[in-house]
Chain A
């Protein structure tokens, strides 16, 4: 197969027809290049959007209190009410399919007030009262130590898990915060863990700026009685979190004397719904990318066949001469095909490298600018997709060359040669 003379011939032909070579190569190069950039951007968009959600359980929901909007049982409209520990019990007892339930409460902190003190350092942070289950529903990375555990809850321990940002503010870089104390709203807590968010944007900032205390400790220490701020909960496998949401809200309305028709009194957010929307969005984006991608590929293929057509037309005379002096038709056709395959592969490879290069460059620049770019993250192209696109283009190049080349070979040499 490898015939030095044949390759020499091919290189000579390509080298001495620079324009022809360039245009053929450029068509392929551009097709692949655009496809790579497009696919990479799509992937970046997908990753960007999905990383906004972190690793939040997709079967989770959140529920909080709002003001009532209808009078009921003698209560006026516009009433405030609170969830309480009894509600937690009632939900566990009455609603089937709850996997984890995490009541939460936000610790007292006046806006703009430095509520956390350590020696000469002070800071204003969000104080959360949490159950261990919370870190299963909306997980964060535990960088050091541990999250709140069951013993903390049972014994009302004064321990704290701090966000990464809290550590940076309250400790020197070389200090180990585990075992140290922070004064939080006037009460000392011992630090048992450091966590960081898996999300990005504002949610990540909020997670990292929070201090997580045992739920029961917060209720007792800051005089909340049995008040619960809001709930996070997840559904067991086989149960729909949307069903649980409906049931929980109905239960809350019953327990707090709210009109069963008052849908706005209990607020909720359902990740399942959100996730479904997101999934549809991704499917839409992927579909669009494929439509545009196939279009680009098609344009590349048409470009190649167009150029091939011109090239073969231009070469009809050359083919005629070669045949008159004794070249077999197959020798000529195979030579042209080898040429075009070599060219498309080479140009396609360059396009691949350039496309991936641009994507990597964007990726690099974005990383340097920090990972707060929001809707766009880690653009990349799957190797399979890239290689299959290249193979499609090469095959297209061969077919685009083979048909007109065969046609050109069928023309009678004398006809091809007679006229200038």
Chain B
């Protein structure tokens, strides 16, 4: 699904050049549930931006679902984002003056789906999130967990291949965080690749693969079985 080879990215601010990503090689297969960890400044946000085609890169090679994502027009990038990627954010980022239903339906508006049809589909997705009766509430009338579920519904409505989640549980309490993770897990089980950026170990532990970034390179890449083993070790150590 995602193939990255020798990815480099620097930011130039004035005379200073900040080398953020220093050669990343990463392959994520379809249907994986991956978390990216790392301290702030490790380059995880930059990587997510590039993966989400919200930013371009200097060197290397990035293929998403077989498409080479190189320098392209904003128009084309927008089309890729719309069709291939669903975003979930820490601060939910719902549009405040639109109700839950309209927020969920928005990606379809950009695909020029008729209002009636997209509202119908949006209702279906909200129902799946258990929010059917909240459809006509404004975002400020919803709890954090509900907002994030609306955001997930919005990410799913365009039937993306990949969900990119930037600290999806960062603003939620533990209980709600787990609920949201359960939903993401369900989504993953339907075959959608999910990538989460997080710095919470328990959240990362719920995924099948953990990639740890340090100073712009991949420091660790731990897979499912090993995750469980680590958990056990941690549990043993705690006792």
Residues of A within 8 A of B (CB): 4-5, 8-9, 12-13, 16-17, 317-318, 320-331, 409, 412-414, 417-420
- CB contacts (< 8 Å) of B89 on chain A: these are 417-418
- CB contacts (< 8 Å) of B201 on chain A: these are none
A and B contact pairs by CB, cutoff 8 A, 7 listed = A12-B98, A321-B93, A323-B78, A326-B81, A328-B74, A329-B75, A331-B78
- CB contacts (< 8 Å) of B198 on chain A: these are none
Q: Which residue of B lies closest to A327 (CB)?
A: B110
Whether A412 touches B54, Cβ cut-off 8 Å, given contacts A5-B109, A317-B93, is: yes
- CB contacts (< 8 Å) of A320 on chain B: these are 93
Whether A324 touches B49, Cβ cut-off 8 Å, given contacts A5-B109, A329-B78, A417-B93, is: no
The answer on a CB contact under 8 Å between B110 and A414 is no
CA distance A251 to B78 in the complex (A): 92
- CB contacts (< 8 Å) of A13 on chain B: these are 97
The answer on a CB contact under 8 Å between A328 and B110 is yes
The answer on a CB contact under 8 Å between B93 and A328 is no
Chief secondary structure at chain A's binding surface: helix
Contact with A along B89-122 (1 / 0, CB 8 A): 1110111111000100011011110110000000
Partner of B54, one of A329, A413, A420: A413
With both chains docked as a complex, state the minimum distance between the C-beta of A227 and any C-beta of chain B, in angstroms. Answer: 89
Contact with A along B48-69 (1 / 0, CB 8 A): 1100101100000000000000
- CB contacts (< 8 Å) of A328 on chain B: these are 74-75, 78-79, 110
Indicate if B33 sits at the interface (CB-CB under 8 A): no
CA distance A4 to B114 in the complex (A): 10
- CB contacts (< 8 Å) of B83 on chain A: these are 326
Indicate if B8 sits at the interface (CB-CB under 8 A): no
Q: Which residue of B lies closest to A417 (CB)?
A: B93
The answer on a CB contact under 8 Å between A325 and B74 is no
Indicate if B35 sits at the interface (CB-CB under 8 A): no
With both chains docked as a complex, state the minimum distance between the C-beta of A318 and any C-beta of chain B, in angstroms. Answer: 6
Indicate if B207 sits at the interface (CB-CB under 8 A): no
- CB contacts (< 8 Å) of A326 on chain B: these are 78-79, 81-83, 107, 110-111, 158
Indicate if B154 sits at the interface (CB-CB under 8 A): yes
With both chains docked as a complex, state the minimum distance between the C-beta of A7 and any C-beta of chain B, in angstroms. Answer: 11
Partner of A5, one of B90, B98, B114: B114
With both chains docked as a complex, state the minimum distance between the C-beta of B114 and any C-beta of chain A, in angstroms. Answer: 7
The answer on a CB contact under 8 Å between A9 and B109 is yes
- CB contacts (< 8 Å) of A325 on chain B: these are 81-82, 87, 106-107, 110, 154-155, 158
CA distance A417 to B49 in the complex (A): 11
Partner of B110, one of A8, A331, A409, A413: A331
CA distance A326 to B79 in the complex (A): 6
With both chains docked as a complex, state the minimum distance between the C-beta of A406 and any C-beta of chain B, in angstroms. Answer: 11
Indicate if B224 sits at the interface (CB-CB under 8 A): no
Q: Which residue of B lies closest to A315 (CB)?
A: B95
CA distance A327 to B106 in the complex (A): 9
- CB contacts (< 8 Å) of B110 on chain A: these are 322, 325-328, 331
CA distance A327 to B81 in the complex (A): 9
The answer on a CB contact under 8 Å between B74 and A329 is yes
Q: Which residue of A lies closest to B112 (CB)?
A: A5
CA distance A202 to B45 in the complex (A): 85
Q: Which residue of A lies closest to B114 (CB)?
A: A5
CA distance A328 to B91 in the complex (A): 22
With both chains docked as a complex, state the minimum distance between the C-beta of B126 and any C-beta of chain A, in angstroms. Answer: 16
